[in-house]
Amino acid sequence: MQLSDADKRKLDGAEGPAVQHAMEHLTRMGEAFEADEMVDLHTCHLLSDYRTMGDGGLEFYEQLVEWGGKMRVPTTCDPMSMDMKNMDKFDWPAGYPEKQTRISDAFRNLGVALTFSCTPHLGHNVPKFGENMAWVEGNATGYANSVLGARGNREDSITAPLAGIAGRTPKIGLLDPKNRVGQCLVEIDPNLVERLGGDGRRAGDFSALGMIIGDFAYDRIPVVTGLPPNMETEELKAMCSACSPALIGTLMFLVGISPEANTVEEGFGGKVPKDVDRLWIDADTMRKAYEYLSNTSKEDVDVVMSGCPFKTIYEIQEVVEQLGDNKVKDGVNFLIHTDRVTHVLAEHMGLVDKLTNAGALLTTDTCEYCMPIENMYGPDTVIAADSMKMRRLVAGEGKPTWRYGTLTDCVNAAITGKFRPSHWN
């Protein structure tokens, strides 16, 4: 791998131990992946929840601070392990608050913006076309690659901060334009498009659609045709959330939407291969996806959650509209997740009061995946959600079971305590 003179100075320690350590790691990684060179980094997004990183991650961040590390590019962070506004609403294990606070303190010293959001691409940290990213969050990286035309792989919790400190990263994977070429084709039935989305259904429908595409493509770059060119931000956010629990990579070429795929041919680099692997998605495919995402048939629910990825202000308005004058049933927890900036806006708009009066809770900075869910919910807990991502991330032996549906289904479950699907059945 060819290093510039500036890279070599960093590697030799001329800019301090944090930069030197970062360059040593990044150089080894680049050589392992046979990168030709390093490229400038333009934006960074880090992991911040103590549940995922544990003591090792905390000590790593604190070591970077001790070495004098500073982020050289705009850097934000993912949700943390707790909602500081509602500490009394959840069961936090001993030591959690103190260790999560230490992570936040380390981030301040590193120069990280304390956004605690999984949607930096919607306002906190928006890369431009062709800019290079080192982001840990799959849904955000997927949106930035697919919708904005930025370039980046889904990074790990070690490489991302080191790239931010060095301001450089190896030109590998989706950072290299020659690798940004479609490898399979997804065609959406026009009749299905007419039925997708709409009030109360956006997140559920497009999250499930993303899963279908991701499961088919898996480790390939899909070229997706048949989507309307004027998709809403919230629809695209939900669909790109597949870039982590379904699609291994973080790029979907959405024809007519992605800046690198104005046509199907452009998505494939000039010509559609004759033997290209194809998937046709119709209403029956969607019905099966909804059925698959419910891993229990129980009607009685204990928890209803919505907001993975985090809710926008318009989605919070939608929840309030769906609730109307109804109240959440006693014994049911209705959790809506968003970031602290959106929460402040929701407060000013009177939405938080309306949700609180209805018995729902608008959380900030965290979600079920980041929280110590093993302390909160057992395998007998039934959760209703309109997020494929959350359903896949928090499921398995010893964990809660799930009912999947639209926002309308979830709000009705919160009001009645019963989950009864109304869409695609």
d(CA 15, CA 166): 9
Cβ atoms of 233 and 203 closer than 8 Å: no
d(CA 335, CA 256): 35
Residue 217 vs residues 7, 178, 247, 391: alpha-carbon distances, Å:
36, 19, 7, 20
First to last CA, the chain: 54
Give me the pLDDT at residue 153, please: 97
Query: Which one-letter DSSP state was computed for residue 219?
Result: T
pTM of the model: 0.96
Cβ atoms of 252 and 258 closer than 8 Å: yes
Give me the pLDDT at residue 108, please: 98
> 339, 328, 266, 263: which is closest to 302 by C-alpha?
328
> 227, 219, 223: which is closest to 186 by C-alpha?
223
d(CA 157, CA 336): 26
The per-residue b/e assignment along 68-105, b for 16 or more CB within 10 angstroms, e otherwise, is ebbbbbbbbbbbbbbbeeeeeebebeeebeebbeebbe
Give me the pLDDT at residue 424, please: 83
Give me the pLDDT at residue 395, please: 83
Residue 220 vs residues 30, 266, 281: alpha-carbon distances, Å:
21, 16, 17
Give me the pLDDT at residue 21, please: 98
Omega before 309 cis (within 30°)?
yes
13: left (phi over 0), alpha (psi -120 to 50) or beta: left
Give me the pLDDT at residue 210, please: 98
pLDDT averaged over 10-residue windows placed end to end, the chain, 425 residues: 96 98 98 97 97 94 98 98 88 88 97 97 96 97 98 96 98 98 98 94 97 97 95 97 93 98 97 96 97 95 97 98 98 97 97 98 93 84 96 87 97 98 84
Cβ atoms of 307 and 337 closer than 8 Å: yes
d(CA 139, CA 336): 18
> 23, 73, 25: which is closest to 46 by C-alpha?
73
Helices within 39-158 (DSSP H only): 50-66, 96-110, 138-143
d(CA 191, CA 385): 26
> 210, 202, 197, 162: which is closest to 41 by C-alpha?
162
CATH 3.40.50.300 fits 294-416, yes or no: no
Q: Write the CB contacts of 174 (distance below 8 Å, at least 6 apart in sequence).
A: 145, 151, 152, 153, 180, 249, 250, 251
Q: Apex CA 379: angle with CA 377 and CA 335, to 5°?
A: 35
CATH 3.40.50 fits 5-178, yes or no: no
